[in-house]
Amino acid sequence: MPFGYVSPAQAMRDKAEYARQGIARGRSCVTLQYDGGILLMAPNPSSALHKISEIYDRIAFAAVGRYNEYENLRKAGITYADITGYQFDRVDVTARGIANYYAQNLGTIFTENLKPFEVEIVVAEVGTRPETDQIYRITFDGSVTDEPGFVAFGGQADQVSAALKERYSPGMSLTEAFTAALAALSASGNGERSEVAATQLEVAILDRTRDHRAFRRIRAARLEELIAESRAAEAKSAPEAAADAPASPPAPPADSGPATGPDAGSTDRGGGLGGANGTPPNPL
Q: Is 136 helix (H, G, I), strand (E, B) or coil?
A: strand
Q: With a cut of 90, say whether residue 248 has pLDDT above it.
A: no
Cβ-based burial of 224 (10 A; exposed 0-12, middle 13-18, buried ≥19): middle
The predicted pLDDT at position 253 comes to 53
Cβ-based burial of 175 (10 A; exposed 0-12, middle 13-18, buried ≥19): middle
In one-letter notation, the amino acid at residue 242 is A
DSSP H or E stretch at residue 134: strand 134-138
Cα separation, 58 vs 69, in Å, equals 23
In one-letter notation, the amino acid at residue 47 is S
- The arithmetic mean of pLDDT across residues 69-75, rounded, is 97
Q: Which residue has the higher pLDDT, 74 or 272?
A: 74
Q: With a cut of 70, say whether residue 181 has pLDDT above it.
A: yes
Q: Which residue has the higher pLDDT, 244 or 11?
A: 11
* pLDDT confidence bin for 273, thresholds 50/70/90: very low
* Percent of the chain whose predicted confidence (pLDDT) is above 90: 67
The predicted pLDDT at position 256 comes to 47
Count helices and strands in the chain by DSSP H and E runs: 6, 10
- The arithmetic mean of pLDDT across residues 225-254, rounded, is 68
- By C-alpha distance, which of 213, 184, 218 is closest to 201? 218
Return the sign of the alpha-carbon dihedral for residues 223, 224, 229, 230: positive
The predicted pLDDT at position 218 comes to 95
- The arithmetic mean of pLDDT across residues 122-151, rounded, is 96
pLDDT digits (tens, 9 = 90+) for 32-62: 999 999 999 999 988 889 999 999 999 999 9
The predicted pLDDT at position 232 comes to 87
Instruction: Please state the separation of Cα 234 from the chain's center in Å.
Output: 21
The predicted pLDDT at position 230 comes to 87
- The arithmetic mean of pLDDT across residues 86-104, rounded, is 96
Spell out the alpha helix ranges (H) of the chain.
8-24, 67-87, 95-112, 157-167, 174-185, 220-244
* pLDDT confidence bin for 180, thresholds 50/70/90: very high
Judged by average pLDDT, the poorest of 61-70, 92-101, 238-247, 260-269 is 260-269
CB contact at 8 A, 126 and 58: yes
Q: Which residue has the higher pLDDT, 197 or 171?
A: 171
- The arithmetic mean of pLDDT across residues 20-41, rounded, is 95
Return the sign of the alpha-carbon dihedral for residues 10, 11, 14, 19: negative
Q: Is 59 helix (H, G, I), strand (E, B) or coil?
A: strand
Q: Is 200 helix (H, G, I), strand (E, B) or coil?
A: helix
- By C-alpha distance, which of 3, 12, 2, 5 is closest to 109? 12
Pairing of strands 150-153, 144-146: unpaired
- Other C-beta atoms lying within 10 Å of the C-beta of residue 184: 26
Mean per-residue pLDDT of the chain: 85
- The arithmetic mean of pLDDT across residues 253-282, rounded, is 45
The predicted pLDDT at position 245 comes to 54
In one-letter notation, the amino acid at residue 73 is L
Cα separation, 192 vs 43, in Å, equals 8
Judged by average pLDDT, the poorest of 38-42, 70-74, 138-142, 223-227 is 223-227
Q: With a cut of 50, say whether residue 6 has pLDDT above it.
A: yes
Cα three-residue angle 217-215-223, rounded to 5 degrees: 20
In one-letter notation, the amino acid at residue 120 is E
